């Protein structure tokens, strides 16, 4: 397990290696910049990092090839989190995860930590607090940059408030919105932005970058997290293996068990968000489907032997039907059911799909 935090990985002022070329090309047109950009791409490939590094580059007083120099006063302010012309609009929960801040004016980190349920939405009050900022002259006559992420954390009220701002944008102000899937956003909001799709890293770029961060067996982590290097890095900092121990315990249990499902994992799964353990089972069942047709595992190649054995035991029809069911569960989001009852049902459903005939 690795203990390095995200702040140890790279400076917010510096683009990730697979982003530099796209950033330089885009920033070269800054004199004719749109007032709002929607930055989108595959999850876990560094879109938020790109947006924050882009903000630093736009605010830099002596950019080098269009990118932040890292040395001027503006760059030092950005690095310290106190540039007067930069605002980060993010949910309170995201701010706490990133740096212990609340994302709200006047709140301290300790006050935020005391909150039992920090908001996972970007609230309309956060946008209203920008009005005074919009009406204040920019520092040394440069840009004013607002970075908003993730854009799908906007609720209907805050999305409409942002739409009104973008319809009559403040002078010298650039909005950088970050989203995994623009189609999930308010269409009228998307129409007010220029879209900037970001490239995903190649497998070699992602592997080399993870190795530079001290991640051993980088290929295994990348496989397990769908080729998304930032997801793989975060997982490597919090897990001992690219897959959770409960997943291998379930694999071993279902290979050995009879007709009855082993429900002993329920207590452990109950502590986790349902979306998380559903995603792991989706990956496993995709590997089972591939194994049923003699293909290598996509996500968990180190479990290939057990995957092949279980694929032969379950049969392709049962695996395909279970994948469909898992997709339906994922679409439901957070289940408004009794958590333990739901997990017991899921364990039984998955066991029956894979038990030996």
Q: Classify residue 81 by its DSSP letter.
A: T
pLDDT digit string (tens) for the chain, length 357 residues: 333 333 334 589 999 999 999 999 999 988 788 999 999 999 999 999 999 999 999 999 999 999 999 999 999 999 999 999 999 999 999 999 887 644 444 444 445 444 568 999 999 999 999 999 999 999 888 899 999 999 999 999 999 999 999 999 999 999 999 999 899 899 999 999 999 999 999 999 999 999 999 999 999 999 999 999 999 999 999 999 999 999 999 999 888 866 677 788 999 999 888 888 999 999 999 999 999 999 999 999 999 999 999 999 898 999 999 999 999 988 776 665 688 899 999 999 999 888 765
Relative to beta strand 173-179, strand 144-148 is parallel
Q: Which helix (H) or strand (E) holds 176?
A: strand 173-179
Q: Helix H segments across 213-303? A: 218-224, 229-238, 245-256, 266-270, 274-292
The CA R_g of the chain, rounded to the nearest whole Å, is 23
3-class secondary-structure state, position 293: coil
Q: What is the number of alpha carbons within 13 Å of residue 286 lying toward its C-beta?
A: 16
Sign of CA dihedral 182, 188, 191, 193: negative
**Structure tokens belonging to residue 202:** 């190649």
Max Cα distance, the chain (Å): 74
Distance CA 147, CA 160 (A): 17
Q: Shortest CA distance to 235 belongs to which of 53, 47, 6, 41?
A: 6
């Amino acid at each position: 397990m690795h203990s390095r935090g995200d702040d140890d990985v790279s400076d917010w002022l510096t683009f990730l290696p697979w982003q530099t070329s796209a950033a330089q090309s885009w920033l070269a047109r800054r004199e004719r910049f749109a007032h709002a950009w929607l930055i989108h791409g595959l999850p876990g490939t560094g879109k938020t990092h790109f947006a924050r590094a882009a903000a630093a580059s736009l605010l830099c007083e002596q950019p080098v090839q269009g990118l932040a120099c890292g040395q001027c006063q503006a760059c030092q302010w950005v690095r310290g989190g106190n540039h007067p012309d930069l605002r980060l609009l993010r949910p309170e929960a995201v701010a706490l995860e990133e740096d212990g801040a609340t994302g709200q004016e006047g709140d301290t980190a300790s006050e935020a930590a005391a909150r039992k349920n920090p908001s996972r939405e970007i609230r309309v009050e956060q946008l209203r607090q920008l009005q005074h900022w919009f009406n204040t002259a920019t520092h040394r006559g440069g840009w004013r940059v607002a970075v908003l992420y993730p854009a799908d954390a906007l609720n209907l009220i805050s999305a409409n408030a942002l739409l009104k701002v973008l319809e009559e944008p403040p002078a010298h102000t650039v909005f950088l919105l970050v989203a995994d899937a623009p189609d999930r956003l308010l269409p009228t909001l998307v129409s007010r932005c220029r879209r900037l799709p970001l490239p995903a890293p190649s497998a070699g770029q992602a592997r080399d970058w993870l190795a530079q961060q001290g991640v051993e067996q980088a290929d295994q982590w990348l496989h397990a997290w769908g080729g998304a290097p930032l997801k793989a890095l975060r997982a490597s900092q919090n897990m001992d293996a690219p897959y959770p121990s409960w997943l291998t315990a379930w694999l071993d249990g279902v290979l050995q068990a009879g007709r009855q499902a082993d429900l002993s994992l329920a207590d452990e799964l109950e502590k986790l968000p349902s979306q998380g353990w559903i995603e792991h089972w989706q990956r496993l069942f995709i590997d089972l489907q591939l194994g049923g047709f003699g293909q290598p595992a996509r996500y968990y190649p180190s479990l290939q032997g057990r995957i092949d054995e279980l694929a032969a035991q379950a049969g392709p029809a049962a695996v395909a039907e279970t994948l469909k069911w898992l997709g339906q569960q994922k679409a439901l989001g957070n289940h408004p059911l009794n958590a333990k009852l739901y997990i017991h049902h899921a364990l039984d459903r998955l066991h029956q799909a894979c038990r030996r005939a």
